Amino acid sequence: MRKVHFVAITALAVSVVSGWGGPGRAADTSTTTGAPAAGTTTTGPAATTPDTTTPRRHRAPRQPRMPKYFGQLNLTADEQTKIDAALADEAAQLKTLNDDTTMQPADKKAKRKAIRDASNAQLLTFLTTDQQTQLTGLQSKNNITRLSTNFQKRFASLDLTADQQAKLQKIADDYATQQEAINGDKTLSTADRRTKGRDLQKAIMPQVLDLLTADQKTKWQASRKTNRGGRGNQTPVTTPPAAATNTAVPLPASP
């Protein structure tokens, strides 16, 4: 009798242990081989499903702002009102253009430029002659400063002395002034403007090279070759002949 009870208790214990471990193994199997069973919690990162129901948002067009330097022109209240209305009209036209789904991107780009050019031309009509002259002067001064700064940056790696830097700045300012005059000459075509710009740089460069030591000239030539990818079809800037070393090359006359 005791033997029968012992066998029965042993069988019951085996069935309980098997039942306890079964669900756990089943859950492990489903985790590694497929999606987890309903009601189970996974500890790994959840997969993200792309949201296909929300439409993509298009970036709103940039709103027109008060043109640069207009704040320095001592605008009257009437001028300010007209300018604000013109900018609002420009913004409305750009929004309509941006919402137009029938135009090709290239056509939109051209139309956007036309709208802004027309708006800029209209803004100038609100200014007095003196204000227009003042605006031109402010724009030209900014352009000259930018051109001069960019010109000097080309030689920043040469470890120029203070004396060299002072002389280079004067050359750069002269170059920038003449380049700005070329850029502002409305009688020149784009091709002529580029040609004059290249000629101006050729006239300026001997003056710069005259400031440099032999080591600096070598370093300058190496940096130009590196920046241009070592292309062999570039015309090198040569050192002026010894006889002309102390002779400053005159700048071309302003057009």
**pLDDT tens per residue, range 63-82:** 557 778 888 899 999 999 99
Q: Which pairs from 139-144 meet CB under 8 Å and 24+ separation?
A: 139/68, 139/69, 140/180, 140/184, 142/69, 143/176, 143/180, 143/183, 144/173, 144/176, 144/177, 144/180
| Stretch 172-179: mean pLDDT | 94
| Assigned domain for 27 exists | no
Q: Which of 236, 199, 241, 203 is nearest to 220 (CA)?
A: 236
- pTM for this structure? 0.55
Residue at 8 is within a domain = no
pLDDT for residue 221: 87
Q: How much is the average pLDDT of 143-149?
A: 94
> Do 209 and 138 sit in the same domain of this protein?
yes
How many angstroms separate the CA atoms of 233 and 222, rounded? 15
Q: How many CB atoms lie within 10 A of CB 135?
A: 19
- pLDDT higher than threshold 70 for residue 248: no
Is residue 242 scored above 50 in pLDDT?
A: no
- Which pLDDT score, from 0 to 100, does residue 186 have? 87
Residue 151: the pLDDT is 93
Separation between Cα atoms, residue 15 and residue 18, nearest integer Å: 5
DSSP assignment letter at 35? S
Domain count within the chain: 2
Q: What is the mean pLDDT of the chain?
A: 76
Judge if 121 and 105 occupy the same domain.
yes
Residue 57 pLDDT exceeds 90: no
Q: What torsion do the CA atoms of 209, 212, 216, 218 make, to the nearest 10 degrees?
A: 40
Structural domain that includes position 168: 129-255
Q: Clarify whether residues 73 and 119 are in a common domain.
A: yes
pLDDT at 234: 44
The pLDDT assigned to 189 comes to 92
pLDDT band for position 145 (cuts 50, 70, 90): very high
